[in-house]
Structure 1
Amino acid sequence: MTTRSLWLAAALSALAALPYSGSAAAPDFFRIEDLRPGLRGTGRTCFQGTRPEEFQVEILGVMRGVSPGADSVLARFSGGRIDRYGIFEGMSGSPVYIDGKLLGAVAYSYAFAREPIAGITPIAHMVDAFEEKGGGLRLEKGGIRDGMLPLPAVGGGGLEFPILPGGGAAPGARDAHSLLPIATPLSLGGFHPGTLEAFAPRFRAAGMTLLQGSGAASGDPPGDQPPFEPGSNIVVSLVEGDLDVSAGGTVTYVDGDRLYAFGHNLLELGNTELPMRRASAVTIFPSFESSFKILAAGGVAGAIRQDRGMGIYGIVGDRARTVPVRIGLLSSRGARKEYRFELARDSMLTPVLLNMTVYNTITASERAQGGATIGVTGKIGIGNQPEVRVAGRFSSRSEAVQNAALSVAVPVNYLMEAGYPDLDLERIDLEISVLEKDRSARLDSIRVDRREVRAGDSVELTMTAQRPDGEILREVRTVRIPATASPGPLTLTLADGSALTTLEQQQEGGALTPRDLGQLIGFLNRMRRNDRLYLRFSRREPGVVMRGEGMPGLPPSILSVLQSERKSGALTAIRTSTIAEYELPASDDVIAGSRSVAIEIKP
């Protein structure tokens, strides 16, 4: 054999020895078709510290179709600390090997199981789930819509919000015969028990169990951290800084800089970007209900890029963008505190986390129930765009904290759910003040001193409102009729900003759909304040909303032309035209409600 042939043969042998990253013919994977009951293997997970330890695995069988297009391998586990702890929270993703080949990740279990039996997600399913098969992430542009955020529950007894679909369920939440994702331990550092009480039910419904108290990330130098390997601890950071929220699990497979973990979804976010950290296991806490791992997070080691039903997928060494938040709080006792933290950047998750952290910031210093008035001002910084301004006061005997937190989360939700690719959420800066006194009042009645007027005339408007203790507020204002009002009936409406916006949506029959990010920011900055009263003059006459802009009071000929040429979704008919609207000066009380009176404009 020539020297050239020897060199070529050596090169080919070296290439053949390299691991192949594709899922179709991965030599290190054990095929599910080759499984049979009684096969034995080993698993790896961290019980303490950062070094994975082995446990024993016995294959019981394959469960077909546990979810659409997915199978699960049922196995019994034993040996080492498994005999003491059983299947525990934080074990999700622990790799299982048969004959030295990777079979998959420990990911599912049965509620109230008397033996350590669990379901294994095949590694081939996990790798295939994250294959790029097209154009990658595609964002759909949407309109402003309601119902995507936490809202105060009826009676103020908690917060209702869709924490995200498909997140599994807490142990025992479903029938005991269901194979459920192993619950993910979610550690929360710096959170008040009242916050946990308000938000925990929804996180539990998403397949998470809350662990109060967690050490903030240590930020150890990279050289002091062992590299990720199958069986290593992994932490996904949702909030970092003065507050900490992190979800823990186990690494299944590492292929170069690509990492696969959990074997089931975290929150089924799809394409996302979440900081991932190495971690050290403090201990496994044994429990009759469900044992769980306590983790101490290390420094940032990469970014989670996908979160799907088969697991989570990240890039080691990558960097996930976060949203910096600063909150200055002036307490009811005159003390000032400042909080700084960063939120995971995700269109569905960021508003929920912002709502929870703002709620916690207030609750940690003030009472969550009882009379309170909370003022919120702030700015949402967006790259290459004007800032979004936030302002409002919220007063109630039970829901002031919830509503104050929502006042910040709602505009962020609008921005992120709209799906504009040029949105770059740079920062959120807030100032919050608290007064432990209920300054709310309900608008009771309005009347004018005369019902027939001419355009440009002035009338006296008398308003009455009632405080929760029964005290009646009465105020008289001089109001000028718009000089541009044409003869005919006119409706004068006095309402707070929120009530007037709701009334306007009912009358105009739908929400506006901004044509671009700049128009959406303009809409948000023009939103009426909940703590101000607005005086609106309107009348019933047709108009349209076209390209996101209202066009009321159109002549019938123009309206006919526009309606005949309208395209689907481009034009919406409206039935009420606003002649003029005024914002009244701020009051010491937060008055809510809406009242209207009819007047006649004489020629």
Structure 2
Amino acid sequence: MRLRFRILLLLAMACRTVYPALPIIPVDSLKPGMKGTGYSVFSGTKPEPFQVEIIDVMHRTTPRGDIILARLSGAGLEQTGVIAGMSGSPVYIDGRLVGAVAYAWAFAKEPIAGITPAGEMLKIWELPDTVKTGAVRQLGSGYRSELNLPPVPVALSGFSSRLEALVTPVLSRHGLVPVAGGIAGGDDTAELVPGGAVGVALIDGDVRAAAIGTITAREGNRILAFGHPMFLAGAVRLPLTGGRIHSVLPSLNISAKLFSPSKPVGVVNQDRLTGISGIIGPEAPMIPVRVHIQSPVTDDSYRFRVADHEQLTPDFLPVGLIQTVLQTEGMMEDYALETRLDLIFARSGRNRVEIRHLFSGTEPLSQMMEKFSAELALLFGNPIEPVRLCEVRAELNFHPGRRICQLISARSERSQVQPGDSFGIFLRLRDYRGEETEKRVMLTIPPATPPGPLTLTFTSRDEFLNQELGDAGELAQPKSLDGLLLMLSESGREDELVIAGYVRRSGLRLSNQAELPQAPPSIQRVLGVPRSLGEVRQVPASRLFKTVVPLDRVVVGSATVEVEVK
């Protein structure tokens, strides 16, 4: 897919026609009171005119740029003010391009807009179009409040108040705001002309999410839009879409367009301070996702694709999963959510990992979004090896009722044991209603366990991993992507209790995370010399064994039991 995209992009650039210079008005030629016309889509697919009056020019509002202040009128703008989704709307005076509507002020009493000069936007076409694979970019977001940029509206299919509440924290990190959207058909999309609606697809398929803007200029198969950055991500490969504007939602804060994106029609290749640029025709890489949702009342499957980007994929893949769930399950109250996420990579060596979770409590969907986002961010942001995720398969199973309990304490039915003995451990559990129960689990002491005190710890998998990482320090950090995938596969599983046995004798933790419990003093002296520091670490207590006990609910808390081995 990546090679095919590069070939198409090179062909598109090689065959590009050389066009005469776009007629523009330099900023220095603008005077207060000059009048012009702008174009944007307010309903349907056709650009409509609105009137523009130049107020003044604010010089050097950015280190190298100016902002043109203008008063807008017509097309209902006196009632709505400047509309989120108008960003990129071209403004002309005497047939020459002034720039793009890009800035607005919340709660303004008049439709005063900031216009990005056309000359600054045209420079985007001169920038190198090279994406460094594997480089993690820091997406810009703080600049929005500094430059009074309106939040970029993102049209979400299956929009609801619950979806809005769940995804708003994620979108706001990127300077985005959710609005209701749908799915536009092939013939139901705006013309890709100046003033036409345009979108940047983040999710495409059975569920969709796309940022909304307006085309400023077009030459052949290349376009300029927005008049401001989307993420300030530099050279990118994001899907470009058309779409339909259904209406404008007036607001005292910032009004917004209601938009349904089409299927991708090209690629966004630049995301810069003065706007975005795109090429119509080539296809941007996206990651396919297959979802199977099962509950006592439904059995559904969905397919969608998510933008392939180091920092966008970790946030928007969970958003797509949330969209599929809410389209299927609606407003279930008390439930437990069992998830299996199968990630498939394009690489030699270990090329897939399955991550399993059980979420329960007041808001399992929110827990799922936060956990998946953190795990994917860990993968894409790892400093070891670039990640190429080529497919995702998700299984989401809903179970009625809450499945969560707290581990209050543990006690052994025997205070003294011998190597090879099996005996019972009683776990005291408290559910979310406060009711307490006792569960008996069997434990077998390994035959090679030395005599003396033995400490048994009872924790969740994640708590056990945190403890191991804390004890081993840097030695426990994965040194390869295979190691990172293994660590992720062993995390989660919140319905499993880890029982570990420790002796109070120092051991050695090796760089491959293997442990030498109770290493003889001679070995400790050899491996502990200065030249070996960083490869071996002494640990105060040696773990002799670890066993996992499956439970039927999420378990939180921990407990410790001491027994004597004879």
Q: In 2, are the aligned partners of 1:390 and 1:408 still within 8 Å (CA)?
A: no
Q: Which string of whole-angstrom CA distances, capped at 9 and with x for unpartnered residues, describes residues 17-75 of structure 1?
A: 9547xxxxx67443334444344443332334444344343332222343454432222
- 1:199 matched to which residue of 2? 167
Matches within 5 A, 1:402-417: 402-417=366-381
- Tell me, yes or no, if structure 1 residue 342 matches structure 2 residue 305: yes
Structure 1 residues 67 and 506, CA gap change in structure 2 (3 angstroms): farther
Other structure's SS at 1:482 match: coil
User: How far off is 1:166 after superposition?
Assistant: 0.8
- 1:557 matched to which residue of 2? 525
Q: Equivalent of 2:488, from 508, 511, 524?
A: 524
Q: Equivalent of 1:351, from 299, 307, 314?
A: 314
Q: Equivalent of 1:166, from 141, 151, 159?
A: 141
Structure 1 residues 141 and 210, CA gap change in structure 2 (3 angstroms): closer
Q: In 2, are the aligned partners of 1:103 and 1:122 still within 8 Å (CA)?
A: yes
Question: TM-score normalized by structure 2?
Answer: 0.83
- 1:482 matched to which residue of 2? 446
Aligned pairs, how many? 543
Other structure's SS at 1:423 match: coil
Other structure's SS at 2:227 match: coil
Q: In 2, are the aligned partners of 1:183 and 1:207 still within 8 Å (CA)?
A: yes
- Tell me, yes or no, if structure 1 residue 185 matches structure 2 residue 150: no
User: How far off is 1:422 after superposition?
Assistant: 5.3
Inter-partner Cα distance in structure 1 for 2:129 and 2:379: 26
- Tell me, yes or no, if structure 1 residue 103 matches structure 2 residue 98: yes
Q: In 2, are the aligned partners of 1:281 and 1:296 still within 8 Å (CA)?
A: yes
Structure 1 residues 39 and 566, CA gap change in structure 2 (3 angstroms): farther
- 1:216 matched to which residue of 2? 183
Inter-partner Cα distance in structure 1 for 2:130 and 2:252: 47
Inter-partner Cα distance in structure 1 for 2:531 and 2:384: 30
- 1:595 matched to which residue of 2? 559
Other structure's SS at 1:181 match: coil
Matches within 5 A, 1:561-600: 561=529, 563-564=530-531, 577-584=542-549, 586-600=550-564
Inter-partner Cα distance in structure 2 for 1:572 and 1:228: 62
- 1:7 matched to which residue of 2? none
- Tell me, yes or no, if structure 1 residue 121 matches structure 2 residue 116: yes
Q: In 1, are the aligned partners of 2:134 and 2:387 still within 8 Å (CA)?
A: no
Q: In 1, are the aligned partners of 2:475 and 2:510 still within 8 Å (CA)?
A: no
Q: Which string of whole-angstrom CA distances, capped at 9 and with x for unpartnered residues, describes residues 442-482 of structure 1?
A: 11111224455554444432222122233332233342223
- 2:9 matched to which residue of 1? none
The root-mean-square deviation of aligned C-alpha atoms, in Å, is 3.5
Question: TM-score normalized by structure 1?
Answer: 0.79
Other structure's SS at 2:42 match: coil
Q: In 1, are the aligned partners of 2:237 and 2:284 still within 8 Å (CA)?
A: yes
User: How far off is 1:125 after superposition?
Assistant: 3.3
- 2:5 matched to which residue of 1? none
The letter of the residue matching 1:327 is V
Other structure's SS at 1:414 match: helix
Inter-partner Cα distance in structure 1 for 2:196 and 2:178: 21
Between 1:68-77 and 1:503-512, the stretch displaced more is 503-512
Q: Equivalent of 1:274, from 231, 238, 242?
A: 238
The letter of the residue matching 1:471 is E
User: How far off is 1:249 after superposition?
Assistant: 0.7
- 2:430 matched to which residue of 1? 466
Q: In 2, are the aligned partners of 1:321 and 1:344 still within 8 Å (CA)?
A: yes
Q: Equivalent of 2:351, from 350, 361, 386?
A: 386
User: How far off is 1:319 after superposition?
Assistant: 0.7
Other structure's SS at 2:182 match: coil
Structure 1 residues 277 and 589, CA gap change in structure 2 (3 angstroms): closer
Inter-partner Cα distance in structure 1 for 2:547 and 2:51: 74
User: How far off is 1:380 after superposition?
Assistant: 1.8
Q: In 2, are the aligned partners of 1:181 and 1:207 still within 8 Å (CA)?
A: no
- Tell me, yes or no, if structure 1 residue 90 matches structure 2 residue 55: no
User: How far off is 1:407 after superposition?
Assistant: 4.9
User: How far off is 1:571 after superposition?
Assistant: 8.1
Q: In 2, are the aligned partners of 1:552 and 1:574 still within 8 Å (CA)?
A: no
- 2:290 matched to which residue of 1? 326
Q: In 2, are the aligned partners of 1:281 and 1:293 still within 8 Å (CA)?
A: yes
- Tell me, yes or no, if structure 1 residue 57 matches structure 2 residue 52: yes
The letter of the residue matching 1:218 is G
Q: Unpaired segments of 5 or more residues in structure 2? A: 1-16
The letter of the residue matching 1:217 is A
Q: In 2, are the aligned partners of 1:29 and 1:102 still within 8 Å (CA)?
A: yes
Other structure's SS at 2:83 match: coil
Q: Equivalent of 2:217, from 248, 253, 269?
A: 253
The letter of the residue matching 2:301 is E
Inter-partner Cα distance in structure 1 for 2:383 and 2:277: 22
The letter of the residue matching 1:582 is T
- 2:460 matched to which residue of 1? 496
Structure 1 residues 129 and 557, CA gap change in structure 2 (3 angstroms): farther
Inter-partner Cα distance in structure 2 for 1:477 and 1:379: 31
Q: Which string of whole-angstrom CA distances, capped at 9 and with x for unpartnered residues, describes residues 196-224 of structure 1?
A: 12323553575444322x2313134xxx9
Identity, in percent, stands at: 30
The letter of the residue matching 1:203 is L
Inter-partner Cα distance in structure 1 for 2:310 and 2:206: 23
Q: In 1, are the aligned partners of 2:245 and 2:257 still within 8 Å (CA)?
A: yes
Q: In 1, are the aligned partners of 2:43 and 2:246 still within 8 Å (CA)?
A: yes
